[in-house]
Amino acid sequence: MEPFDPMEPNEELESSLRQALERKDAPEWFVDGVMARVKSEGMKPRRNWLAGWLGSSGWMRWAAAVATVAIVFGGVRWEQERRQRLQGEAAKAQLMMALKMTGEKLRMAQVRVQSLERDEQAQ
């Protein structure tokens, strides 16, 4: 036989191959087998770990939903309190700094006044 050239296919071999590779009928029970597997395995792999953990019972889903809402609200509240506390601490630090600077200035002024008083008495 001549070597296969895709541009000039060997018609005899191609025809034999088409005949040999004709579609075959699936067994009679094939459809039932597929449907049985669809019923037993259906959408299993699509369920994520959370869905698998929760199962299909309604009260578990409600409990999970309530817990999720509680966690979200608790988290928001905690975040708000944390921000307020940080803001309060920053304000307190600023106040302390301002008081410290004021005290320092007052002390310097007092020293200056005392110095002037001493000069006057000396004269």
Partner 1 sequence: MGVGQAVAPIPGTGWRSEAREDAGFAAIVRTHQRMVYSICWHFFRNRAIAEEIGQDVFLQLYRNLDSIDSPAHLESWLRQTATHRCIDNYRKKSNRQEIPMEGLAEPAALPQVRDTMLSDNLQRLVASLPETQRAVVILRYQEDLDVNEIAATLQMPERTVWSHLRRAIGVLQEKAARRLGSGPDAANQGANQGKER
- How far apart CA 109 and CA 29 sit, in angstroms, is 105
- How far apart CA 52 and CA 45 sit, in angstroms, is 10
Q: Does 35 bind partner 1 (CB under 8 A)?
A: yes
Selected from 33, 52, 55, 74, the binder of partner 1 by CB under 8 A is 33
Q: For residue 61, what are the contacts with CB-CB under 8 A and spacing of at least 6? A: 54
Per CB under 8 A, the segment of 36-44, 48-56, 71-79, 109-117 that binds partner 1 is 36-44
The size of the interface with partner 1 (CB under 8 A), counted in residues, is: 33
Q: Does 45 bind partner 1 (CB under 8 A)?
A: yes
Q: Does 87 bind partner 1 (CB under 8 A)?
A: no
Listing DSSP states for 45-89 in one string gives: GGS-HHHHHH-S-HHHHHHHHHHHHHHHHHHHHHHHHHHHHHHHH
Q: Does 38 bind partner 1 (CB under 8 A)?
A: yes
Total Cβ atoms within 10 A of residue 10: 14
Q: Does 42 bind partner 1 (CB under 8 A)?
A: yes
Q: Does 8 bind partner 1 (CB under 8 A)?
A: no
Length of the chain: 123
Q: Does 118 bind partner 1 (CB under 8 A)?
A: no
Residues engaged in binding partner 1 (CB under 8 A)? 1, 3-4, 6, 9-10, 12-14, 16-27, 30-31, 33-35, 37-38, 41-43, 45-46
